[in-house]
C-alpha cells in the first residue's frame, strides 16, 4: 500500500472513515509490512509526546498491514526502542538454516508397523526387546536405530501422524449375540419344588401357583 500522500492526521482520519468497510489483503512478505509500519511511524514522528488520539489514529492505520491490534502494539514498542537503527523493525524469527534432524526415519516407522502387525500390538517393552534382539542377536542392520529405542518413546511414535495414517484398521459392527430373555409359564410336569412369583402381572391368564413341599 502506498500511503505517502497521507501527510496529516486529518487525512488519516478521513481515510480511515472512508475505508471502514474495505477489506485489506495483507502482503505475504513480513519485511514489506514492517517497512510500511516504519514509514508511517517515522513520517509522523511517533513518540510518547504525541497525544493519545493521535497515537490511536496512527495505530488504526496499521490495520492495513493485516496485523492484529496486539501485534501492532508490540511492533510499535519495538520501533520506538530501535527507531535510530537503519532498519528499526526486523523479523526476529525464521526457519533454521539446519532443521532438527530426525533420529527415526520413515524406514524405521515402516519397521515398527511391520513388527506391531506381526505381534498383534503387544506392550512396548516386548517390542523394544524384539528390536534389540533383531540387531544384536540376528545382526539385522535395519534395526540399528530401533535397537536403542525406549519403551516410552515407542508410545510416542505410535501416536505420531505418520504412524496413525499408515496403521488404519476398520472394524465392522458386530451383532449382539446375547440371548434375549423370554417370560414363560413354568412347566413343572407334576414335579414338586417349583414356585412362580410375579409381582407385576401374570401375563398369560390365571395359572395356578405350583408350590413344592
- The list of the chain residues with pLDDT below 70 reads 1-9, 12-13, 15-28, 49, 58-65, 94-96, 98-99, 169-170, 181, 196-213
* Distances from the Cα of 137 to the Cα of 1, 49, 146, angstroms: 67, 76, 14
Single pTM value for the model: 0.39
| Cβ 207 vs Cβ 196: under 8 Å | yes
pLDDT at residue number 213: 45
pLDDT at residue number 139: 92
pLDDT at residue number 169: 67
pLDDT at residue number 84: 79
| Cβ 112 vs Cβ 146: under 8 Å | yes
Contacts of 26 (CB under 8 A, 6+ apart): 33, 65, 66, 67
Per-residue pLDDT reduced to its tens digit, 168-191: 766 778 777 777 767 777 777 878
In this structure, what DSSP letter does residue 188 have?
-
Residue whose C-alpha is closest to residue 127's, from 157, 89, 103: 157
Q: Domain segments of the chain: what residues?
A: 9-81, 106-163
Residue whose C-alpha is closest to residue 169's, from 130, 122, 107, 116: 116
Cα of first residue to Cα of last residue in the chain, in angstroms, is 103
* Residues 9, 114: Cα–Cα separation, whole Å: 68
* Residues 71, 119: Cα–Cα separation, whole Å: 52
* Residues 128, 123: Cα–Cα separation, whole Å: 9
| Number of Cβ atoms within 10 Å of the Cβ of 42 | 12
pLDDT at residue number 26: 57
Amino acid at each position: 500500500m502506498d500511503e505517502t500522500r497521507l501527510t496529516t492526521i486529518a487525512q488519516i482520519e478521513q481515510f480511515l472513515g472512508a475505508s471502514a468497510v474495505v477489506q485489506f489483503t495483507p502482503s505475504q512478505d513480513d519485511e514489506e509490512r514492517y517497512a510500511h509500519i516504519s514509514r508511517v511511524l517515522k513520517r509522523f514522528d511517533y513518540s510518547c509526546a504525541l497525544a493519545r488520539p493521535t497515537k490511536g489514529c496512527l495505530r488504526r492505520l496499521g490495520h492495513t498491514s493485516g496485523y492484529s491490534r496486539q501485534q501492532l502494539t508490540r511492533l510499535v514498542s519495538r520501533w520506538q526502542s530501535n527507531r535510530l537503527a537503519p532498519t528499526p523493525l526486523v523479523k526476529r524469527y525464521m526457519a533454521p538454516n539446519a532443521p532438527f534432524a530426525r533420529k527415526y526415519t520413515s524406514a524405521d516407522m515402516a519397521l515398527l508397523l511391520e513388527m506391531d502387525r506381526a505381534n498383534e500390538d503387544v506392550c512396548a517393552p516386548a517390542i523394544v526387546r524384539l528390536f534389540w534382539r533383531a540387531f544384536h542377536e540376528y545382526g539385522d542392520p535395519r534395526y540399528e536405530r530401533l535397537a536403542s529405542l525406549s519403551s516410552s518413546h515407542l508410545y510416542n511414535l505410535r501416536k505420531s501422524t505418520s504412524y496413525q495414517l499408515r496403521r488404519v484398521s476398520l472394524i465392522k459392527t458386530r451383532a449382539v449375540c446375547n440371548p434375549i430373555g423370554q417370560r414363560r409359564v413354568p412347566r413343572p410336569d407334576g414335579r414338586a419344588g417349583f414356585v412362580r412369583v410375579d409381582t407385576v402381572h401374570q401375563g398369560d391368564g390365571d395359572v395356578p401357583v405350583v408350590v413344592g413341599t
